[in-house]
Each structure stands twice: as C-alpha cells, then as structure tokens.
Amino acid sequence: MTYNILVTGGAGYLGSILVPDLLAAGHKVTVLDNFMYKQASLNHCAYHSNFSVVKGDIRVEETIAPLMKSADVVIPLAALVGAPICSQDPIGATTTNHDAIALMLKLLSKQQIVLMPTTNSAYGTGDENNFCTEESPLRPISQYAIEKVAIEKELMQHENAISFRLATVFGMSPRMRLDLLVNDFTYRAFNDRFVVLFESQFKRNYVHVRDVSRVFRHALDNFEKMRGEIFNVGLSDANVSKKELCEVIQTQLPDFTFIDGAVGKDPDQRNYIVSNEKIEATGFQPEFRLARGIGELIKGFQMIKNSRYGNV
C-alpha cells in the first residue's frame, strides 16, 4: 500500500535517508523544512515526480495546516535535536520540539497516521540495574528529553500513532552530524587518534540511521499490529559503555588511543541498558551492526573534514 506522506524536517540527518527510501518504496512524499543548516541533502530527490518540497517553519499554522490536509501519514522529524542545542536555544527548543508538535496533533484527523521519533534518553539512568523496557519509569535529564516525554504523552492519545524511542543514532548521511557520540568518537579517532573519556563506564544503546529509516517503513507495512504502541529502537548487541565503544573503534583504527579523564564530569548523565525485544517481536531486525557503521564512518571521513578555519 502506498501513502501520501508529510515529513517535517525531511532535509535533516534522518530525513535525508528516509525520504529517498520512502520514494523508492512508491510513496508520495512532501517535505517541509526550514533548511536552517543551508543543506543540499535532498538535491538528489528533486527529479522524482512523487517528491514535493516546501521551505517553511513547522511552527506556523498557516504553513503546516494545508500540508497536513492532504497527508495520509505524518512523520514529524523537525526538531532541535539533542541536549546542547536545546540548552543554547531553550525557547526555540520548546516552540519547535513541543508546541509545534502539539499544534500538528491538534490538526490531525482520527484517520491520519503519525509515526514519531522520540528518544530513549528519557530513561535517564534506568532502574537499579540501569535496565529499561518501554514500561520503565521515565527520568529525563535534559530539556530535550523532558519535552520529548511530554509530547509523547500527547501523541499516544491519538489512536493511529506510533512512538519510536530511538537509541543514539550513528552512520553517514547527506546531512551529516558529527555531534552524535559514535560519529564524534570515530571522527576523533580518525583525525586526532586520541580522546579523553569522562565517566567511561556510562552505557548507552545505539542504532544506525538506515535502520531508523527501515523501522519507519516497517511500521507502515505492519501498522495494524503496531498502532497505539511505543517501541524502543536500537541494537540489542550494542548496549555498550563509552570505553567499550572506543575498543570497537580501535579494532579498525589500531593507532587510536583513549584514556579515562582523572577529573571532569560528563554533562550528559545518561547511563542505561535498553531492551529492544518489543520491536523485534514485530519482525523487525536491524541490519547495520556497530562495527559495520564505524567502518562506514571511516570511509566517510576520508571525504569530509571540519577544516573551515584551518589550512589542512
């Protein structure tokens, strides 16, 4: 079955992978994005007859309302993603991550489907064993996580909604992000060959950006059995500490060195082990393991480097 799909923030890190995948699956896709990073990440989609794009702000009702009327499925990706950018612009974060999504939910009809990425950072530090399922108490630490928790509660009041609590995403994308942990550590290992770890025992779960795209398409294909549910989405074999992550990177970059910082504290105090059994029970299995993604990143970093203010 094919759908008319509205993807907000479709030119971002995830959207620039998901949108071409949706087009390849036969769907009609409209992207609403403000192109705040001046990205050209969807240039390769412009030829496609099923692709439409609107430059605009999701917070403006006059912009979003007519686009939603013609959509069978809404995938709201537009957000200020991550704790640092939300701390830098807390007002923009609230109006984008919460208020704009609340407006979209108000405009939804009962028949429309909404598939939304939330975050497993909402678990904070998990239980006494740092273990989390979808039923675990939520203990969000950052503004980003707090507002994602709030909007998820509103989202799940819609009968045709699915929430994906994403693990920390990694992998190459046309709109690349180097601030995500695996991407960041691999970039430092490739270019600097060295990193200092703070609270290196803290664990997180990870998932490849292409597997995130795959889980959205899996939900469209299996909507009736997944509707109204919340799912963790991550690699079950990648609940690893920062030190363990560095050890995986080191297997592919042997001259990479990492040490524990004697002083200092990680500003992001997340530390948890996440169960992905619920999404796996629907038949979804990730394809991209952690080591494979790191190999992909190493190839990518042969081609890109942050050298705007350097001569090399």
pLDDT digits (tens, 9 = 90+) for 249-283: 999 999 999 998 876 666 566 788 999 999 999 99
Residue partners of 88: CB distance under 8 A and separation at least 6: none
pLDDT at 143: 87
pLDDT at residue 214 in the model = 98
Q: What element of type H or E holds 119?
A: strand 113-119
Specify the pLDDT at position 265.
66
Query: What is the value of pTM for the model shown?
Result: 0.94
Which residues are CB-neighbours of 226 under 8 A, at least 6 positions away?
Answer: 162, 219, 282
Amino acid identity for residue 297 in this structure: L
- Per-residue pLDDT tens, the chain, 312 aa: give them: 899 999 999 999 999 999 999 999 999 999 999 999 999 999 999 999 999 999 999 999 999 999 999 999 999 999 888 878 888 999 998 999 999 999 999 999 999 999 999 988 888 765 567 889 999 988 888 888 889 899 999 999 999 999 999 999 999 999 999 999 999 999 999 999 999 998 899 999 999 999 999 999 999 999 999 999 999 999 999 999 999 999 999 999 999 999 988 766 665 667 889 999 999 999 999 999 999 999 999 999 999 987 777 766
Look at residue 84 in the predicted model and tell me its pLDDT.
84
Q: Which stretches of the chain are DSSP H helices?
A: 15-24, 61-69, 83-88, 90-94, 100-107, 143-155, 181-191, 209-221, 223-226, 242-252, 277-280, 290-301
Count Cβ atoms within 10 A of the Cβ of residue 312 and give its class: 0-12 exposed, 13-18 middle, 19 or more buried: exposed
Query: Using CA atoms in the order 73, 20, 293, 83, what is the torsion angle rounded to 10 degrees?
Result: -50
CATH topology of domain 4-171+206-234: Rossmann fold (3.40.50)
Question: Which tens digit of pLDDT belongs to each residue from 61-115?
Answer: 999 999 999 999 999 999 888 878 888 999 998 999 999 999 999 999 999 999 9
- Report domain extents, the chain: 4-171+206-234
